[in-house]
Amino acid sequence: MSIRSFWDGKGLFETHELVTIGLFAAGAKASALVIALVGGGMNPLTMILKSAVYSALLVVLLAKVPKTGTLTLANLVGALLAFFLMGQSMLAIPALVIGTLLVELFIKAIGGLERHPGYAILTVALSEFVIRFINLGVSYLMVREQPQLLVMVVVVVAFSYLGIIVGLVGGYFMTRELRHAGLLQ
């Protein structure tokens, strides 16, 4: 794709794809917020449940819009919504963008989502792992004088990633059922 094609109005995404990405990201973040509020805050069960719903919706999104950059845009929209709605820190956004871009470029190098729709699960799993790894590194830099504080952060991240794994299985079955119903191609 050349730079000229961007000026001609032919970008990487069509308008309906951008709307789909925005709606899925907003829906995933809103459902995570509702689960946290109904579940009584950030306890292990709600962390697992909200991570499961979030990752399942991301898998369905990647099945609906299988292009490089979809997950990065969805995560960026979700992070901005989390910042404005829940007061989440802006420190997580650079790690989120860098981690997701690295994983999406890796997936593109091994064939891409366009040719291998099954890579949607791998993309979500790897990107969430890389994002969490980078955030743990940043957390370590902030508490390096008392590294025992990092133990609780690792426990929280482990519960959250357990929810991601559950959500990947759920996303697989949701995608399969949506294809069977004719809502996904």
Question: What per-residue confidence (pLDDT) applies to 60?
Answer: 95
Q: What is the DSSP letter of 67?
A: S
| Number of domains into which the chain is organized | 1
Number of H helices, E strands in the chain: 8, 0
Whether the model pTM is above 0.85: yes
What amino acid is encoded at 142 in this protein?
M
Any domain includes 62? yes
What amino acid is encoded at 20 in this protein?
T
Any domain includes 7? no
Question: What per-residue confidence (pLDDT) applies to 11?
Answer: 62
Question: What per-residue confidence (pLDDT) applies to 5?
Answer: 39
Question: What per-residue confidence (pLDDT) applies to 71?
Answer: 92
Question: What per-residue confidence (pLDDT) applies to 9?
Answer: 52
Q: At what angle do helices 70-86 and 92-109 cross, to 10 degrees?
A: 170
Q: Report how far apart, in Å, the C-alpha atoms of 21 and of each of 4, 15, 64, 81 are.
A: 25, 10, 9, 13
Any domain includes 67? yes
Give dist(CA 131, CA 108) in Å, integer: 18
State whether the Cα torsion 106-111-112-113 is positive or negative.
negative
Which parts of the chain sit beneath pLDDT 50? 1-8
Any domain includes 34? yes
The boundaries of the domain holding residue 20 are: 12-180
Any domain includes 43? yes
Give dist(CA 63, CA 49) in Å, integer: 21
